Amino acid sequence: MIDFHQIFFLLGNIEGDLIKGLIELLLFTFTTYMLTSEYTRDPRRELKYLIAGFGALSFEKLLSTVVLANVVFGDLGFVSYKYYLPVIDNALEVLALILLANAFIFPFFSKGDKIKKNIVYQIMLLAGVFLIAQSSLILEVILWEGSYSSYYWSSIVFICMKLLLIIYPIYTIHSRKDTPYKYRQSIIIAFMIYFIDPFIKIVNLVFFDGNNARLFVASHPFPFIAVALFTRVMYLKVADKAYLKRELAHEKELNEMKDKFVSTISHELRTPLTSINLYTSLLKDKKLGEVNKKQRGAMDTIKQETERLKALINDILDLSKLEKKKELKIEEFDLYGFFENNACYALAKEKRLKIENKLKKRFIIEVDIEKFKQVLINLISNAIKYTDKGKIILNAYKRKGDAVISVRDTGKGIPLPDLKNIFNKFYQVEHYATRDKGGSGLGLTIANEIVKAHNGRIDVKSALGKGSEFRVII
């Protein structure tokens, strides 16, 4: 039968501290090794702080176990241990908590510089407290032969620092609910469990002068459990990352297969389309015999649909090339000159629409000219296509370092539910059964991809019956 009195007696004395310290040393060392291995593969600042934090805990436990072993098995007096080790021990644990707390909140900040400043300020505060506590303790030993008052107050200060450092990440992680993070609850629980240890210790010091053996023993397991939970989180993150890498590699392989398939099929389709176009032209020009009016009309339809299919294939190839993220050839581009000499004017003239160019002369932007022309032609063509009367207004201006290019029309507009889908592949606002306008549904997708490649975006404002405005911001 287990004798719990003997177990509690062991845990309540210095031999129990030594056993607990050895177990914690093994856990902290293993965690530090695991993090270091991951850092060699992926050197992130978050991992650097975690390695430093668990390394500080490992060093603290190594130091305390060596000293405790000397107390238990050697000739180091307990009084010497009591006076000199606790301040160093507490300071190392606080340093570890500073690094761990900031490492675990690192994903919740967009800029790592703020975390770095926090760590510097907190370490400076710790250094000041450590120097005051250690100096006062040494003076007390030398001048007053040790009344333990400095040990008492320095312990309270260090424990309060630990409590604040544990509350800091709990509050930060809980308050930033808008930041998605898979391990939020696990980290909060681990810090809350760690919180129990210094809380019990400060209760023991304040109300029992640190002499309540039951409270002393009760505080033992909580740091170990908390660090075990931290280790579990880090292991899961490493495992998830390895799984994600495998998935990304698989996705990359599938994308390469898709690109190869699209490229091959598109090129293969061009050959029969060219033959269809050729023979349709020969038939229409009566090179292969007489054709009547009805047959000529059918051949016109075949030719139009062939051209449409050819345009669709070209769009698919263009989109496939853009998705491969090829480098851009950036040059100066005069928007005013392009708008003034645009071929779309002829199309607008056919529909009796006015194109109003509001740009200042020589409005220069730096873009991949050929690709960006594709964006502008697509937007202007769409504006003309979906405007039956009124005008198309072209404009551009600079705003906070960005160039904003606007294409506005007075056409039919886009229904609100469709606005979020217009950049999706093959999406068209009008239903295929009632659609009277041509198009593949890829024009806006291609335009959006080109603009995103320039680190820009396309904004859309529209109202039914009042027209639409597309703004390219780069």
**For 176-220, what is each residue's pLDDT tens digit?**
877 777 888 888 999 999 999 889 988 888 888 777 777 877 877
Query: N- to C-terminal Cα distance for the chain?
Result: 76
pLDDT per position as a tens digit, 10-38: 555 667 777 777 888 888 888 888 888 88
330-473, what's its fold?
Answer: Heat Shock Protein 90 (3.30.565)
Six-digit token pair at 348? 């607008």
Cβ proximity of 302 and 276 under 8 Å? yes
**Two tokens, residue 331:** 């040059």
**Model confidence band, residue 227 (pLDDT cutoffs 50, 70, 90):** confident
Is 432 or 288 the better-scoring residue by pLDDT? Answer: 288
Using alpha carbons, list the distances in angstroms from residue 161 to 95, 101, 126. Answer: 10, 12, 9
Average pLDDT over residues 358-362: 81
Q: CA-to-CA distance for 456 and 450, rounded, in angstroms?
A: 9
| Per-residue pLDDT at 2 | 45
325 conformational bin, left if phi > 0, alpha if psi -120 to 50, beta if neither: left
For residue 180, the 8-state DSSP code is -
What SS3 state is found at 14? helix
Residue 442 per-residue DSSP state: -
Higher model confidence: residue 103 or residue 83? Answer: 103
**Whole-Å CA distances, 426 to 385, 413, 422, 423, 434:** 17, 19, 9, 9, 16
What confidence category does residue 434 fall into, taking pLDDT thresholds of 50, 70 and 90?
Answer: very low
Measured in degrees and rounded to the nearest 5, phi and psi for residue 430 equal: -80, 145
**Do 154 and 190 touch, CB atoms closer than 8 A?**
no
* Extents of the domains making up the chain: 4-219, 330-473
* Whole-number pLDDT of residue 435: 47
Within 335-453, strands assigned E span: 354-357, 364-368, 391-399, 402-409
CA gap 9, 91 in Å, rounded: 28
pTM for the model stands at 0.52
Question: pLDDT category, 431, cuts 50, 70, 90?
Answer: very low
Alpha carbon 158 to its chain's center = 36
Distances (CA, A) of 138 to 147, 250, 367: 11, 63, 69
Contact at 8 Å (CB) between 456 and 473? yes
Beta strand segments in 108-159, E: none
Distances (CA, A) of 343 to 2, 364, 380, 386: 93, 20, 10, 17
